[in-house]
Structure 1
């Protein structure tokens, strides 16, 4: 007799929250379970995610700003909680898991109100605000790093280190060899600053590469993500230096680009770190100084300690410093290959599997012989009338 459980995954509308949630959803679906996603309008618009799951857009207020903003935010959260409870009446989840971001808050509050087992997944090395708010009440806390700042020791019994789930296409790179690299071969550099690029990378990286010794510079091949307002200036700079460069505002085939990259230069977001350590790719990372609680600086520490990356604070990220760090990595025989092995050593490729195991362990009352056919549609908009907040 088959057992199918229903899981609700709630995630904020950025790739950093949505991609791990998507990876876990695919693992749960592969095990025969049904999955519904709760997110905001931004999350629902991210392409190529949650094609096999129901997607529900709920209000998600933010508890920031002045007192008037708090009132508005609380109202939206309560509306979202009421809508989530209406969804749970129909979908009957055995567990609800939040992947961070304010859009996860109403769904988790609804689950707690209804006595449904809950979990949160923290992608960063600093516990995020929503996860911090709910840490005391949830059934389990999954982390991506062994040490997570702002996570009180008193919750240790329900903390589980699982890692940060990545897409199957990235996971497949773990079985591939590091791209062949000799003193004469092309040296491929991938530059990415997140989904919107980063102006500091556009201004520093081309100038830094120009300072490299000619023997290395003439071997370079660059793929770089840029903001739209920066791309033509960057293109002109590379053309002047005669460095082949493929520039775009969005890299849609990131796993493919990562597969042949010898070095990655970028930010230190949780998903970036997870992909680098899963695939085993060396990196020079520049943590975003304005990131909430400076979590990108915390994220990069493990990979640096493993020897798979070098971290440069943005205040010190100059063309000279970049060129110096690249020379240390690229011109010493075997250094790149060694850094790749070290990066791979701190990867957690089983994160999606382990997260799915955790959710199955906390979810109760499995639904036997799924009474709702997989093809049965769920409402995409929920009626709030008569639903208690």
Structure 2
């Protein structure tokens, strides 16, 4: 618990991948008695799960992209206006430090923080340093990472890198010490399928047919929960019915933590928050990285958990019903194989990520007497082979 109350500004893009860890840090800083404000875009201000005590300030993000100079000018104007708005907030809020979680809405805020000579910290959720974080990496005071290996991060900056993991929601972290759901030769095999906040059509097209190709003894024990796009849900329902496989379908599950708690196997995308939640709880997975993800970061996100034995990864171009059935059989045909994969996934988790990130944040912008004494978690940046998670495969 901190001995003094301070003010912190968090700046994050408007997607769940950026905001979930920002919300987790906000909750931890609030528990420590600090005041926190969020700068984001309109999507982020309206996203479900934002804590009531966390005021959200919407700034123009200003994105310079494409080849049209008029678009560049418009983007630059947005960035400069956002910077001016952030500076006005700093004048009234008087933050001790500013923490950027990436995404274009964080750009003007981090520029303003540098202009105001405030301590700055970056948190990178993915295994590839994002574009905004890449721009500021050499300019900030500290960089917190979620993975031991982060591509596009200059090894010369390793002295300011701290491995903390990716903070997850409290309701997910609360499941970490719960045992893996009982799974035996005659047990139901509960499979959770999601494709991110908007669903994924390829999962709706491939998963039902892949499950139908499993051996009858395994197929008869299936119990499926799947998130679908609204326009796909009835077709998916009909497909499961034609295969005689019981499936609960919805476009959104409010109780996703509870669904994850009961699942034996996850099938879905490999966004940073998804990997963090799977490893926090310890759930085996078959991961299909989003092929259009910037810098192919979703594929990079699978490296550690796959190397540890907690997941299998299938590129979308190879994601067929037969390929999926083969991987499910490899993981679930024998109960001990699935349990071992669950343990390997669990070993890849960082349950203290929010606390460790808060310790790092508190260590900047204070007097030496009030500095939080923190353990040295600085790790060298490696650009070679993927690292196995702590503990390795079970």
Q: Would you say same fold, with TM above 0.5?
A: yes
Please, which runs of 5 or more residues in structure 1 have no aligned partner? 369-389
Q: 2:200 aligns with which of 195, 198, 201?
A: 198
- Give the match for residue 30 of structure 1: 31
| SS of residue in 2 equivalent to 1:3 | coil
Maintained 8 Å contact 1:126/1:295: yes
1:64 deviates by: 1.1
Within 5 A, what are the aligned runs for 1:188-227? 188-227=190-229
| SS of residue in 1 equivalent to 2:36 | strand
Q: For the residues of structure 1 that align with 2:115 and 2:366, how far apart are their CA atoms?
A: 16
| Runs ≥4 residues deviating over 4 A | none
Within 5 A, what are the aligned runs for 1:44-193? 44-66=45-67, 67-193=69-195
Q: 2:271 aligns with which of 254, 269, 273?
A: 269
Maintained 8 Å contact 2:176/2:282: yes
Q: For the residues of structure 2 that align with 1:260 and 1:345, how far apart are their CA atoms?
A: 19
Per-residue CA deviation, residues 67-89 of structure 1 (Å, 9 max, x unaligned), is 22111111101100000000000
Q: For the residues of structure 2 that align with 1:253 and 1:242, how far apart are their CA atoms?
A: 26
| SS of residue in 1 equivalent to 2:329 | helix
Maintained 8 Å contact 2:183/2:335: no
Q: For the residues of structure 1 that align with 2:3 and 2:362, how far apart are their CA atoms?
A: 14
Per-residue CA deviation, residues 273-314 of structure 1 (Å, 9 max, x unaligned), is 000000000000000110000001100000000100000011
Per-residue CA deviation, residues 170-220 of structure 1 (Å, 9 max, x unaligned), is 101101000001111111000011001000000000000010011111111
* TM-score normalised per structure 1: 0.93
* TM-score normalised per structure 2: 0.92
| SS of residue in 2 equivalent to 1:174 | coil
Q: For the residues of structure 1 that align with 2:167 and 2:83, how far apart are their CA atoms?
A: 27
Are 2:237 and 1:249 equivalent residues in the alignment? no
Please, which runs of 5 or more residues in structure 2 have no aligned partner? 371-394
Give the CA RMSD over aligned residues: 1.3
Q: For the residues of structure 2 that align with 1:111 and 1:197, how far apart are their CA atoms?
A: 36
- Give the match for residue 390 of structure 2: none
1:251 deviates by: 1.9
1:42 deviates by: 0.3
Are 2:10 and 1:9 equivalent residues in the alignment? yes
Q: For the residues of structure 2 that align with 1:230 and 1:271, how far apart are their CA atoms?
A: 24
Are 2:300 and 1:302 equivalent residues in the alignment? no
1:363 deviates by: 2.5
Per-residue CA deviation, residues 307-342 of structure 1 (Å, 9 max, x unaligned), is 000000111100000000101111124011000000
